[in-house]
Structure 1
Amino acid sequence: MEFSKLKQRAKTYLDDIIAMRRHLHRKPELSYQEHKTTSFIVEELEELGINVDRPLQTGCVGVLEGGIEADKVVALRADIDALPITEEGKHKEPFISENSGVAHCCGHDAHTANMLGTARLLSEIRDQIEGTVLFIFQPGEEKLPGGGRLLCETGYLQKKGVDVIYGLHSYPDLEPGQIALRKGALMARPDEFRVELIGKGGHAASPHEAIDPIVMASQFVNQIQTIVSRNVNPTEPAVVTVGKIDGGSAHNVIPAKVDMLGTVRTFGKEIADMIRDRIEATAKGVAEATGGAYTFDFDYGYPAVINTEWAAENVKDAATELLGNGNVKLLEEPIMAGEDFAFYQQEFPGAFFFLGSGREETGSTYSWHHPQYNIDEDCFITGAALMASLVFKPLS
């Protein structure tokens, strides 16, 4: 298969892929609620003559049987859910979200449309495909426990005999026509914690008669900043961040409690466990020292995204042929964001990569989860063709 031909075909489909993306962008749905999104995907796949399975309540898997009989099974994955966020941005005005407080500000509409473009490319040359291609349209990437985990737990993909799985994410730091990837560790495991510091409410003018949980929270936040710097090997990436503090109601009232939410980012459960224990020990110490109390919850999130070496090499080789060597960026360090694509990699060889989608002229250089997040739609030429080309790469 000449990959340049796939790119030429993708160019001819660009307007259709853009139209699908904008339709999905107008009608975003939250994690595990993607019923209309799923119906749209199923309709598009069936029009291409691709059989559809429904292992979960939302999302689906398109099954394309190639014309060359073989045991080879290649899975391609896109996520379909949106974020609970109100979007902004003049560049998106023609297709702004119609669902209040819900928006595709992480690119999942683009991932879905890109995969439908890939399905169209491959459906027209199915006679040249060895074995089977699975198009996974996965729900719930943005919310624990993760749609990837739920799908793997059904056993569906195992029964299908998946040999390798590939996925991508839009990437505002690179322009369309470029990709970034890394062999080995690519993205961190995103665990979450909740701490409630319980004091004794009172009048702000009489702090000696109260136990101030705001002071407790201040001490707690400052102290956990040393967990990484003093407990983790400096060569090991790790992050502890408090993302939300909720406490108090007025300038002259000492509240009874303060709630905090935070995240821990690491590349191994052993380090995550150590950080979890240190966070709880800090909460306990602060509470006991001030005469207060605490509660602590820790939710293990997705595993780290660890790319299989040969699968990542397949992405690199295919992208180099399609885009040229100068447009394939090899990341020197992993990033600390998380992705539930990692659950698939617990079961199968696989590679995840970043698709350049940022350009100042189209307002598409904002970071993931920003209200103005957008993608430059020229990225579909690269994305659809590259995902299609991976079907023709070897299994080792």
Structure 2
Amino acid sequence: MTNRRYDLDWLRIIAFGLLIFFHCGMFYVSWDWHVKSRFASDTIEPLMMLTSPWRLTLLFVIAGAATRFMADKMTLKSFIAIRMRRLWPPLLLAMFVIVPPQSYFEIVEALQSARGLGPDHATWLDNFYIKYVTASGNWCDADGCLITPTYNHMWFVAYLILYTLALVLILPLLRRIPAGASALIAGPLLIIVPWLYLTALRLTLFPMFGESHDFRTDWYLHPQYFGMFLFGFAIAKNQTFFDRCVNFRWIALAIALTCWLALIIYYDAYAAAIDPPQWLQLVMHAVRELDAWCAIIAAIGLAHHHLRGADGPLRQVLTQAIFPFYLIHQTIIVVAGHYLDAMQIPLAFEAPLLVAVTILGCWLFYDLGRRVPFLRVWIGLSPVLSTQPERG
């Protein structure tokens, strides 16, 4: 017997998988990113916007739920020790080993010259890596300077560390929240209350702080992501919440898709640097957050309805593999994308090849890391391969 939540496992796998494909897409859209394809355009941007409003918020809800299951099984001291041991090594590995190639190729493409920094030069260590580690590169262009060392895509893990430590301080309070608080998400309030919270943040804090993924200044995203992390912690064992998500899944999906279409029409109408009326901007902020929350409700409801009993070898493997995939994927995309673009091959071959190289590289990274005991903790796995059945 097991009490493991397979639906949450699958949601985590799917959300991280979408993130990997999203970052492959970032190579081909007009939005700012580390490296860019010569084919970059706005063609696939509507498709990218299908998941961008809600994917990361969903991951923090799942992370909060997973934290609840973990915290309820052990003492507070053991919980903190295990959580930090699983998060800190991958973050440090990313900052000082995995992310530097991303920064290097960002510098090369932004400055249009390696300027003696490349790995083909004998002085690469002094000219790039030492400067990267000591924050002394002074790599700047018209848009600003690259601050190093950096965690880039691993900001998610850095935020999880912060939110876990903050959670510990309020854990006794959270466990004393009366069961009657579930009335806040009863019936249509399941959609309305969280939507109002997200919309209030979007209308008040987003104009002032934007989204930086710098933990020191991210005062719009911290209330959003930490709030969703706490929400996930609170509802992890609330079966009524999951039943309501199942009941609302098709309504929520229809609302999310309608909002997505409205956002596409809105951005297309004002793509030519024409400022929309202030009232319309406020309305579309609210529409974006309705899209985000309804998509999350639909995802949770569909997963709980169809995947809560979906165990098997594939789930077991992917549950372990998806975090190492996340750890390495962006560096593979950046490096492979840079060299594939230089090869001048047609887009019809380049894009599938980039995706294939990314998936293969992720698997090789995971497969090597899981087989070497010393490396397991550095890629977010348990120190030794467990032979015990999963328990939550």
TM-score (norm 1): 0.24
Higher relative contact order (CA 8 A, sep 6+): 2
The alignment's TM-score, normalised by the length of structure 2, stands at 0.24
Q: Larger % of strand: which?
A: 1
